[in-house]
Amino acid sequence: MSQIRTFLAGATSMAAALAAIVTLTGAKSPLRHETFDEITVGRINIVEPDGTKRMIIASKAQFPGLFKQGKEIARPDRRDFAGMLFINEEGTENGGLIQKGSIAEDGSIASGLSLTFDRFRQDQAMQLINTDSASHQRTGLSINDIPFYKDEGGQMKSRIWLGNTGDKGSALQLKDAKGRTRMMLLVSADGKAEIQMLDEQGKVSKSIVPGSGE
């Protein structure tokens, strides 16, 4: 009889433990809707019903690596950023938003924000970027030629850049298929406007300025 009581007590304890696990994990429970005024977390994984990650929001300490066809590849170089990754249906990275900003002990500034949109299984086709340091600030929109994922050895080529210049002017750069700037629309910091045509070596072959008669 004592053996039966021991068996029943053990079975009861196991059943209670399993019930607690089901309650905590939500296993086989109906979809729940929760409302919070505020949550504090290091990372949020947005997943499909089959577990495929579709979006990740993370702190710098928990920022993920590169996702490629459902597998995560380590990227230690990303550990300086917090932000968000977009992931497509097959589990491949599809773009993201990353940002950082800090002042080092020597007073140097390292700050930046980048929003990118990737081509399928490839690098960024468009990027909105801002970088800032003690000596340089760069803000602009970059549009790139990205090879098809089946093309081996293909490289990204910048085709359009719209943003500021190092001397506090603004510029629109139009580039050829090899990434060489062939035309620029420029406005200097003091308001002087110019259109430049460039050759394959990057030299200005023709320039149009107000009052030039062209």
pLDDT at 8 over 50: no
In a domain, 8, yes or no: yes
Own/partner pairs, 81-87, CB within 8 angstroms, 24+ separation: 82/58, 83/57, 83/58, 84/55, 84/56, 84/57, 84/58, 85/55, 85/56, 85/58, 86/54, 86/55, 87/52, 87/53, 87/54, 87/55, 87/56
Q: Each residue of 184-204: pLDDT tens digit?
A: 999 999 999 999 999 999 999
Strand partners, 97: 84, 115
Whether residue 153 is contained in a domain is answered as: yes
Predicted local confidence at residue 113, as pLDDT: 96
pTM of the model: 0.78
Confidence of residue 106 (pLDDT cuts 50, 70, 90): confident
Let me know how long the chain is.
214
Say how many domains are in the chain. Answer: 1
Phi-psi region of 8 (alpha: psi -120 to 50; beta: other; left: phi over 0): alpha
Residue 170 lies in a domain: no
Domain that holds residue 119: 2-27+38-164
* 160 part of a folded domain: yes
Residue 23 forms part of a structural domain: yes
At 27, list the tokens.
Answer: 């296993």
Of 112, 89, 98, nearest in space to 57 by CA: 98
Instruction: Judge whether residue 116 has pLDDT over 90.
Output: yes
**Structural contact between residues 70 and 90, judged by C-beta atoms closer than 8 angstroms:** yes
The pLDDT value given to residue 160 = 97
In a domain, 178, yes or no: no
- Which secondary-structure segment (H or E) carries 135? none
Average pLDDT, rounded, for the chain: 86
User: Is residue 18 a part of any domain in this protein?
Assistant: yes
114 inside domain: yes
Looking at residues 129-141, what average pLDDT do you find? 90
**Pairing, β 124-132 against β 137-145:** antiparallel
